[in-house]
Amino acid sequence: MRRYLIECVLQPEEIDNLQKIFDVIIAQPWFVLNDVNREMFAVDLIKLYQSGIVDCNILRDLATSRAIRRFGREMPRTPSEREREAYEQGISAGRRHLNDRPNPYPENSTLAAAYENGLLDGQKLQ
């Protein structure tokens, strides 16, 4: 990132702050880390700073938002505890061949989907 700072005059403290923000954001699991993305993000971060966004918290938040849109990947969603319980109930029902019983969860809900997935997985375990 420091090589992009040659064109502008910044104090060492400013450069350190930009570097910290840069390092934190590119270390996020959603950031698609490659040379091109790192370079493009460095340029974006410097331009944001040069545009007058000098408050580190605001700069970090805005840079994070832009980085997610431009360089982010979708992260798998972690199921909730209730979804895990619905899945386990589905596995139990599938193992006992209770396919004819209706799904106990609201239709088209994430809980119903978790139960159905568990039901199918439970049937495979037989």
Taking only the tens place, the pLDDT of each residue in 16-26 is 999 999 999 99
How far apart are the C-alpha atoms of 111 and 84, rounded to whole Å?
Answer: 9
Q: Is 73 exposed, middle or buried (0-12, 13-18, 19+ CB in 10 A)?
A: exposed
Mean pLDDT (whole number) for 8-37: 92
Integer CA distances (angstroms), 122 to 39, 98, 110, in order = 48, 10, 18
Tell if the pTM clears 0.85, that is, is over it: no
Confidence at residue 74, expressed as pLDDT on a 0 to 100 scale:
84
CB 47 within 8 A of CB 1: no
Cβ-based neighbours of 2, under 8 Å, separated by 6 or more: 15, 19
- pLDDT for the residue numbered 94: 86
pLDDT of 8: 64
Neighbours of 12 (CB within 10 A): 7
Which of 110, 102, 69, 63 lies closest to 86 in space, CA to CA?
Answer: 110
- Condensed to tens digits (0 to 9), the pLDDT of residues 43-98 reads 999 999 999 999 999 999 999 999 999 999 887 778 889 999 999 999 998 888 87
Chain center to CA of 97: 37
Reading the block at residue 86, the tokens are: 């619905």
pLDDT score of 125:
79
